[in-house]
Every structure is written in C-alpha cells, then in structure tokens.
Structure 1
C-alpha cells in the first residue's frame, strides 16, 4: 500500500493522469481533513530538550519545523485526532506522533511545549 501511495502522490504532483482510486489514495495521504485540524489544545511551539528541533504547530493546521540554526527546515500540514498527530510535509514526507501527558512523542524524539 505504501508504494501505491507514493506513486499516486508523485503522479498528482507531476500532473500525470491517475485513476479515481489513485486520486483517493493520494488525497488520503496528502490532505488532512480540515475539521480535524481546526480546534485542538496542542497548537504552539514544541521543542526537543536540547532545543535543536522545534515544531511550531500553527492553529490553521500548518506546521513549521526548525532544525538547529536552519529556520523553516520543513513545512507542511498536520491533523490532530485525540492525542494522535499526523504530519504531511510539503515535500511529500509523512510522519506521526502521540501526545502523552503533555509531551509529544515523534520520530523517537521527545518534544515539550515552549511558551
């Protein structure tokens, strides 16, 4: 299924003709439902303990990730459902994480909220 998603997303990005089924798969993997991003308690800045990686979860369903001195290293969309977050990077990369007791667990890293 992962290969099908990658091919469908690539085809859409390149403007190639794709079947309705491929479009559906690509949209599932690239477009977060608006209702699920609109309201949640996790918007704000999330930072690793060393401050190297910083996720700014914007209230409009977009995120901006900084790494070290590189501001806006990655940007994309996200959706929060309960305590689960899904990321869709503008380059096509996808990731997810979980909020547990006020801490974001993402990609083997721990992020804490910074005011």
Structure 2
C-alpha cells in the first residue's frame, strides 16, 4: 500500500463512527464520477448522507460547518465508484439511479486509492480490481468497510457489539431469533440469541454455521469457512440466496 500521510487516519475513522446521522465529507481528492455529465474533477469533495452521494465537486467543504459534516481530508487520493455497472452504462440508465457512478443521488459505494497508484481512470480501476492491498478506503452505502488499508470486520464496525466474553456476537434482534424455513422445506436456518446461525439443507444438519449481524432489514453472515453472505427481511419474510423463508412457529 502506498503511504498517503494524514489521510483516512484512525482519528478520522473514530469521527465517522461517532458521527452517526451526520453527513460525511471527503475533501480535496481527484474524483472519477463515471457520470457522463460530471466526468472527472480535481481537488473535489464528495458529500455523503443517508447512504447516498449528496453532492460532488469543489468547494462543498465551505459549507461543512453549516451542515455539521464529518470532514475527512482526502488530499493525494483518487476516488472511484466502488461498483461499476457496465449494463447501466451501455443501456443509458438515468443519471443518479443505481450504482455505477458517483453522481448525486447514487448509492455511496466508493473506493479510494493513492494518486500514485491511480494516475488516470484506467489505472485507478485496474488497481482497485487487481490490487486490493492498495485501497486506502472503501465505503459501502457511505459506511467504511476498509479504512487506512485495513479491512474492517463487522465486529469492528460501529454498529456491531461483542458478547460478555469478547467473542464477537453480532447485533441480535430478538424478534428474528428462531428457525427460518424456506417454502420448499429444503433450507432450515436457525438464528440463535448468541449471534450464531446453523443451517440444515435437505436434511443435512450443520451444512453451514457461523456468525450473523442484523442491521435494520439486512442480515450479514460470516460462515466459519470464511465466506460472506447476506439476506433481507421483508416483514415476516427472509430472502436469502434465492430462498424465501418464514420463521417456524413455536408450539
């Protein structure tokens, strides 16, 4: 990882974590928006709020105090979209809709690299795709998942909790603890009160086991084998990996 002094520091991360609900402003970076109208800007700011790109361009930092924004200095870095949707580009999707650009209104998925690793757009995208160790920061929905080159596990995210023994149990929603069963009775997924899950597939017990975290309607899984997965709750329904599940009623 190329060193960029005084950017994306531990103090910055702490400010982001304690600034829940406040806008986040990355200031003084080169920004490749991949938006056909905005294009690339030097010494630009990216304002993030509510998981979306709120504004992009030079001078936004002048209103940072008025907006109560958390300001992170990004001089010497290049910012690119963290998700590139080639189908949206080729089909001419409406600006600011869906991932793939950093236009205002787009989801705040972005990656940050040192300028020396990203002299132009092609080099920036290539470095982001092939050299993850070069990433200074990555934000998903405006929340850090990589910071100062370090991958942040859910246990180190601001919304995660730890159990009394420090074992890293995630957010647990008591209303969603229990056994969830898909409509074909193939997949049984038990969410336990200690932040663990245990899947039975086609009668094969303990097919997958690991930890889970619930944030609003989203559930993230970290399997003991090391892979990640996610699902979404829609009322009394859990959608995960193509399965539609409902919680089994206790008798």
Instruction: Specify the alignment match of 2:217 in structure 1.
Output: 83
Conserved 8 A contact 1:40-1:80: no
> Which secondary structure does the structure 2 equivalent of 1:59 belong to?
coil
Conserved 8 A contact 1:29-1:88: no
Conserved 8 A contact 1:97-1:104: yes
Conserved 8 A contact 1:44-1:113: yes
Equivalent residue runs for 1:55-94 within 5 Å: 55-94=189-228
> Which secondary structure does the structure 2 equivalent of 1:111 belong to?
strand
Aligned length: 99
TM-score between both structures, scaled by the size of structure 1: 0.72
Query: How much is the aligned-residue C-alpha RMSD, in angstroms?
Result: 2.7
> Which secondary structure does the structure 1 equivalent of 2:176 belong to?
coil
The offset of 1:28, in angstroms, is: 1.9
Equivalent residue runs for 1:95-114 within 5 Å: 95-114=229-248
> Which secondary structure does the structure 2 equivalent of 1:60 belong to?
coil
Tell which has more relative contact order, 1 or 2 (C-alpha 8 A, sep 6+).
Answer: 1
The offset of 1:101, in angstroms, is: 1.9
Identify unmatched segments of 5+ residues in structure 2: 1-127, 134-146, 163-169
Instruction: Specify the alignment match of 2:153 in structure 1.
Output: 28
Partners of 2:211 and 2:247 lie apart in 1 by 19
Partners of 1:42 and 1:65 lie apart in 2 by 15
Instruction: Specify the alignment match of 1:50 in structure 2.
Output: 184
Partners of 1:105 and 1:79 lie apart in 2 by 15
Greater Rg by CA: 2
Higher helix share: 1
The offset of 1:34, in angstroms, is: 2.1
TM-score between both structures, scaled by the size of structure 2: 0.35
Change (3 A) 1:39 1:110: closer
Identify unmatched segments of 5+ residues in structure 1: 6-19
